[in-house]
Structure 1
């Protein structure tokens, strides 16, 4: 098997990663504009926050069903539909201008957001050679990081030059633009044959491996989401470190996570023991978060500790995705990724409430302790997956 991407694989990887870039721009398109929206729409931050809640709740309830549709109707078709739907949502919000149109746009963006993970991973997992599918997953994830980083600059820049409504329309137009390279493959894609409802002894989607990976994703989303949203406030409250220094440490964590994702692709392609990779990376990252949160470190040591923790957190992500790929029953990759990705939504809904409550009650150190404990829980779940993998290998010759 070749260790480099073929021309066709590169085309697929670029088009799918482009869609993932746009999906992250759409997720973070609204928050940078909230101060402008508050004045333009005459609403408060509570109402604006409700738009994000709508997006996340819609994604949570529709992601697993969308995964089933990805397997049934075709991953490329569904990905094109998601890009067009998300684009439509932001165009309507920009042209409508009012708060009600913002909620409509958030609803459509949440529905579109539920398509991306199951469709992206189904395409990459079936189209990229096994020898470098880990790197494909890592580049796909890295494209999402780039989208998250680009969103504030894009939205504020366009709004400054051309106004709030134009910024939302521009964000929307990114959807159909990213769909163009996928159109040919979507037209040629054939729907999967309808599967029998009950195949004796056949693998089921709701098996122990997929369900435990859903918990695994939820724990990671809760732990890392707490750090991303509240670490700066917690450091400032716990040790009096300046907001500027705390933001530098958090930025270093995020940037190192992106670099770790790229390195993790090479790691994932060189081992089949992805559960052990995840356990090592998350365990070490959790210990470093404890040091960063409980050690009252000065600015420079804090930044160095967070940089290493972020790199390790990012490094495990391609192996995390390979674990899902291995656990997915044949022909149900989209459904498996759709189901486990609901863990992201659970983390996005529950995490802010939990960690916000801790800070409101004067417990900044507890925030880091709980975030680390959640990651340790994910370590245990990854070790369970590795044990399952070992049992499958032992039983394989007898089948």
Structure 2
């Protein structure tokens, strides 16, 4: 639970890699609110499409390899952010961060479902949600502190170092993150008990679409607050 929670916190930390520096980007690169909004649209489109596909990849390859790849992508996103010179570079950073974020929920829940006993699974899911919120809470403190101390570009380098440390810890504890992959067919000599359902059969369930609608609307609302709260407070009240 602790390792998965740490990974989930780092994922939510990555949601705010760009929004916390929006006032800086507006001043440095002369960006408008529409251009800033497109950055977050890029992040969430890449993340959303990638997350829909990641579950199938996790079933085929296992959760652990994708977790390591995602952490590596976040490292690349932070290093790219530290060197950006304009809007195109920020678009690349947004896409990288979205791609890194895409795998976390399929990976996390696969590991928790396979590695945590049924009586403790509710606690595991609660801890998973809590650590995600802690990641959101840590990001403003981290970037405000590192930005004031080192400058915003060096703050991104420090974030890359943080992700590298977390990746190193996950690699050291990799035995606790192993999962079984979904079998593609019955073993040789063993007949299948019933015809296998299509991989997309779950799309026929109404509850899937109810949950999708709920999370779509809640995420849209939360994303607006997270992405533009800093810029709005600075513009309206002069808060630095």
Tell me the TM-score normalised to structure 1 length.
Answer: 0.50
Q: Structure 1 residue 73: deviation in Å?
A: 1.2
Runs of 4 or more, structure 1, over 6 Å off, are none
Matched, 1:196 2:190: no
Write the distance in 2 (CA, Å) between the matches of 1:230 and 1:61.
Answer: 19
Matched, 1:104 2:85: no
CA distance 1:163–1:15, shift in 2 (3 Å): same
Write the distance in 2 (CA, Å) between the matches of 1:213 and 1:174.
Answer: 38
* Residue aligned with 2:83, SS: helix
Show CA shifts across 1:78-110 (max 9, x none). 111101112211211112343222211111111
CA distance 1:211–1:102, shift in 2 (3 Å): farther
Q: Structure 1 residue 228: deviation in Å?
A: 4.2
Residue 270 of structure 1: aligned partner: none
Q: Structure 1 residue 69: deviation in Å?
A: 1.2
Aligned pairs for 1:89-238 within 5 A:
89-184=77-172, 185=174, 189=178, 192=181, 195-196=184-185, 200-208=194-202, 211-225=205-219, 228=222
Matched, 1:86 2:85: no
Q: Structure 1 residue 144: deviation in Å?
A: 0.3
Q: Structure 1 residue 211: deviation in Å?
A: 4.4
Write the distance in 1 (CA, Å) between the matches of 2:46 and 2:124.
Answer: 28
Residue 342 of structure 1: aligned partner: none
CA distance 1:60–1:14, shift in 2 (3 Å): same
Equivalenced residues, count: 219
* Residue aligned with 2:17, SS: coil
Matched, 1:74 2:74: no
CA distance 1:177–1:42, shift in 2 (3 Å): same
Q: Say if 2:64 and 2:177, in contact at 8 Å, map to a contact too.
A: no
Q: Structure 1 residue 214: deviation in Å?
A: 3.3
Write the distance in 2 (CA, Å) between the matches of 1:192 and 1:127.
Answer: 13
Aligned pairs for 1:257-268 within 5 A:
none
Residue 237 of structure 2: aligned partner: none
Q: Structure 1 residue 164: deviation in Å?
A: 1.5
CA distance 1:230–1:123, shift in 2 (3 Å): closer
Show CA shifts across 1:145-193 (max 9, x none). 1111222222222212211112222233332222223214279958737
Q: Say if 1:26 and 1:171, in contact at 8 Å, map to a contact too.
A: no
Q: Which runs of 5+ in 2 are unaligned?
A: 187-191, 226-232, 234-240
CA distance 1:210–1:161, shift in 2 (3 Å): farther
* Residue aligned with 1:72, SS: helix
Residue 45 of structure 1: aligned partner: 33
Matched, 1:17 2:5: yes
Q: Which runs of 5+ in 1 are unaligned?
A: 1-12, 232-242, 244-399
Write the distance in 1 (CA, Å) between the matches of 2:177 and 2:117.
Answer: 20
Write the distance in 1 (CA, Å) between the matches of 2:178 and 2:116.
Answer: 16
CA distance 1:210–1:187, shift in 2 (3 Å): farther
Aligned pairs for 1:29-44 within 5 A:
29-44=17-32
Q: Structure 1 residue 140: deviation in Å?
A: 0.8
Residue 60 of structure 1: aligned partner: 48
Write the distance in 1 (CA, Å) between the matches of 2:182 and 2:220.
Answer: 42
Q: Structure 1 residue 127: deviation in Å?
A: 0.1
CA distance 1:140–1:187, shift in 2 (3 Å): closer
Write the distance in 1 (CA, Å) between the matches of 2:112 and 2:179.
Answer: 17
